[in-house]
Amino acid sequence: MTTVNTEPGAVSGAAVSEAGGTIVPKQRPARALPIWEHITLLPNPLPEIDESHVDLRCRVFSHNATMPVMIEPDGSRSSAKPIALQRLAAAADRHGAFFSLGDLQPAFDKPSIFGELRTIRDNHPNVVMFAELPASRLIPQPDTPLLELEQVQRTVNELGLNGLLINLNGIQQSFKSRYGATSAGTLAMLEELCASLEMPVIPRSLTGIPRHICRIMIERGISGVMVGGAEVVDDWLRENRPTQGELAERYRQKHEAFIGWGMPTVAAIRMLRGIGIPIISDGRIDTGLDAAKAMILGADVVGVKLAGSRSGEDSDEAIERDILSFTADFRAAMFLSGAANLVTLPQIPFVAVGETREWLEAAETLWKQDQQQ
């Protein structure tokens, strides 16, 4: 094993080429990049704290939460499944977590769905609730109806949302639209949303966001970012593959060429840490230990998909069992590494190996370059 950290919370030995540029490790051609499995937290056998006293409370986007977790539904058209959403919102309410309704597009297309989403807010008035729209619905497209700013403003206010995620979905468009991706005007759209909505506007990217691009968006008013990575892109590509026609063949060819596109989540988080706005991890968090590692790397909140998020068939009991197990693992990871709360958690040293180490070193180089400017 190779140690990345020489100090708590820092990565050492960043790779730089002779020309001064960052050496980006080669992308793995056939499978998703490793994420949390190649990171080990250094154990602390003398934590001098009781596990029951480990504190997961946080304050993000001016809201208090019992844990730094955003419970998300699964599926690209998730708000079309209000039964599952109702159960997930109830879990978020019970446990003091943040909550996302997922993709908000169905609420604009079907008045009945809007009414059901409004009922979720009425039933859980204290939940800090977010929802998501793709950027492609907010700038003119050749094949997609445009959502006007007034429509968006009215809908998010009537639903009582506490924040709006904007999916920078250029890669999805590039693969699925027969017209190709149309992204011109996205920055102006974000600036207009930030100026008109009385809530955080949070860009979301499956491929990570370079630090200098994030700074440009901060200047335009964004309040946070949600970043995934190459492994999340690979999941999306597999799940959304067309099965028939000319589009399916073009998709297959592009998929083969772009497997592993983007940076892995570990680097996406690490590169943006300390940038001045909250960072939400969007990178396939399966356990509380994964969540602890994401927080150590620099995330402020972790997005989590629980049982019951894929359909309305999973029971409240299954969802409750899932979140209790997740929380117990999160607290145990902090206790075993000696972190009493989320303030001290980022100070825990860790070890990274293999390709994950290379990506973290590259992210650290870019972070240091930004700090020097």
For the chain, the domains span 36-372
Per-residue confidence (pLDDT) for residue 214, from 0 to 100: 95
Looking at the DSSP bridge assignments, the partners of residue 301 are 280
- CATH annotation of 36-372: 3.20.20.70
- What number of other Cβ atoms are within 10 A of residue 328's Cβ? 12
Residue 111 pLDDT: 85
Whole-angstrom CA distances from 103 to 171, 229, 307, 338, 359 are 17, 19, 18, 38, 30
Cα–Cα distances (Å) from 342 to 6, 31, 56, 234, 332, in that order, read: 21, 33, 6, 31, 13
Q: Is 173 left (phi over 0), alpha (psi -120 to 50) or beta?
A: alpha
d(CA 345, CA 54): 11
What string of pLDDT tens digits covers the 373 residues of the chain? Answer: 334 443 444 444 343 333 444 444 444 444 456 679 999 999 999 999 999 999 999 999 999 999 999 999 876 445 556 778 898 999 999 999 999 999 999 999 888 899 999 999 999 999 999 999 999 899 988 777 899 999 999 999 999 999 999 998 776 766 666 666 677 899 999 999 999 999 999 999 988 899 999 999 999 999 999 998 777 666 666 666 666 666 676 667 776 777 777 788 999 999 999 999 999 998 788 899 999 999 999 999 999 988 655 444 568 888 999 999 999 999 999 999 999 999 999 999 999 999 899 999 999 888 888 877 7
